[in-house]
Amino acid sequence: MTPKRLVLTIDTVTPSLNEHLHWAAYGRVKAALQTKITEALYAASAASQTPLSSLIMRGQCKAELEVTSYRHAILDHDNLVGGAKPLIDALRDLKLIVDDKPEWLVATYDCRVDRKNKRTSIVLEWDEDEARAQRPKPAIPLGPVVEVPKASIPHQLTTKTTTEEPAMFSFVSQTAEIR
């Protein structure tokens, strides 16, 4: 058994279930979360000098997910869990989890107060040996590692196509502190 752990922090909070999102608004929230998660993956890859492909699950297995929402006030558990649905769907669409069904995902949710630094912490754990059994194509193209200064994070993603590689991400960097 080879356990793997991916820890990401995004600078946004998931909506509360009380917000009753229209389906179009839900789609926009999910797309924004996908972008934030992708940026966090690239930042984690650059900060640790680790290829992106070694940070993510490259197969299918059951995963454990811990979502901690830091916000201005505590949400009750039902609102927190229901509001995290766009986040779970974004993780599924990015192929970071297989599915949100109980046979594929065990999720725990926590809400804490931090009025100055609202964010969402995502901790994903899985067994790498189990995931090796089947390796589907990832949603995030895994090209060569992009050399980024340690104190830089991806700011704006653009798509670049070359004749040697399939479409891959390149980005313009903006200097910032990695936490």
pLDDT digits (tens, 9 = 90+) for 96-124: 888 999 999 999 999 999 999 999 999 99
In this prediction the pTM is: 0.69
Quickly list H helices, the chain. Answer: 23-48, 52-55, 77-83, 85-93, 128-131
Distance CA 43, CA 106 (A): 26
What length is written for the chain? 179
Encode pLDDT of 16-71 as tens digits.
888 888 888 889 999 999 999 999 999 888 888 888 777 777 668 889 999 999 99
Domains located in the chain, CATH noted: 3-143 (3.30.1330.70)
Residue 126: which of 97, 168, 159 has the closest Cα?
A: 97
- Residue 160's DSSP bridge partners are 168
